[in-house]
Amino acid sequence: MMTPFYRPYWSGHPPLHLQENDMFARMKQALAALLAAALALTTSMAQATLIQNGGFESYSGTPPPGTFGAVRPDPWLCAGPYCNIAAVKIYAQGTAHLNLDGGMHVYPGFPSQSPAGGNFLAADPCYGQNPGPCSATTFPGTSTIYQPVGILTPGKYVVSFWQAEGQWEGFTGDTTGQWEVGLGDICLNPVSCTGLFSGDIHFSPLMTNTLPPGGFVPWNFVTLNFTVPTTAAGVPQYLSFMALGNPSVPPMVFLDGVSLTQVPEPSSLSILGLGLCGLVMLGLRRRRA
């Protein structure tokens, strides 16, 4: 016995309300796909850091604590005459107060557990320059750490990191400390990096330590905004950190958890907004129907 074949009660095209339902479904699928693509793009741009080894966990030399030159936290580089002595060091958690090599170390009260976890970097601002203050222009011989970040798309970028300040044990007096941060076509140290720096420079909040010996400024999170201009299109860029402070009463400035992210382009945000508006309008129109 043959199974009956039932034809729809209409002939030719389906009724208008079914056509509209099908159209709404297809438009909804297309807008949802557009929204998902825009959301994925903006999320990846906001979360993907362009810095490698921002926590100084990887190294190709001796295990920390030790000088920058001995530990070698690749792909970070150090420019200046003091990279291989105690002026720039990589510490493991809980070791910043230990006098392991006769070099610089803070008073025991310093909280040498970084919020970012693992290793962290310490630098003596303008080592060898006395009195201060100093900067990349007034005393360019100081040590700078930097990392090549390749060719960046012109636009807005955010640099974030943890910083703290202590003081060399055995010294007294009010100290100040901060980081001079540069994003440009050469590192901030013109003595050890060929050419003159051309790019965007910002300073982290000034850490002022007016406590007696043993005082410190605890770890604090810093976010700085940078711009890569259209003139830098196709030019390799570098992210640089130079420690600044008052070297006559030597402070120690600490760094950890470095990140560089691109701010989503306005066009991506516009697509995201249009997708959301489209879904809302479809919902309202469907409800009225």
Domains in the chain: ranges and CATH:
47-266 (2.60.120.260)
- pTM (2 d.p.): 0.76
Q: Are 58 and 75 in contact (CB under 8 A)?
A: no
Q: Does the pLDDT at position 183 exceed 90?
A: yes
For strand 144-151 and strand 236-245, is the pairing parallel, antiparallel, or unpaired? antiparallel
| Alpha-carbon span 180 to 234, nearest angstrom | 25
- Higher-scoring residue by pLDDT: 267, 220: 220
Whether cis (ω within 30° of 0) applies to the bond prior to 108 is no
What is the identity of the amino acid at 209?
A: N
Kindly state the tokens that stand for 204. 């982290």
Q: How is residue 129 annotated by DSSP?
A: -
Query: How far is Cα 162 from Cα 258, in angstroms, rounded to an integer?
Result: 7
Share of the chain above pLDDT 90, in %: 36
Mean pLDDT in residue range 220-225: 97
Q: What string of DSSP letters covers 42-109?
A: HHHHHH----SSTT----SSSPSSEEHHHH--TT-EEESTTTTSTTEEEE-TT-TT--SSSS--B-TT
Ranked by mean pLDDT, the top range of 8-12, 208-212, 245-249, 255-259 is: 255-259
Contact indicator for 110, 216 with CB cutoff of 8 Å: yes
Average pLDDT over residues 127-148: 66
Strand order across the 120-123 sheet: 66-67, 88-91, 120-123, 251-262, 155-167, 217-228
Mean pLDDT score of the chain, rounded to an integer? Answer: 77
Return the closest-CA partner of residue 167 out of 205, 121, 217. 217
Distances (CA, A) of 53 to 124, 149, 172: 21, 12, 34
């810093």: which residue's tokens?
Answer: 222
Reference 255, options 131, 144, 138; nearest CA is 144
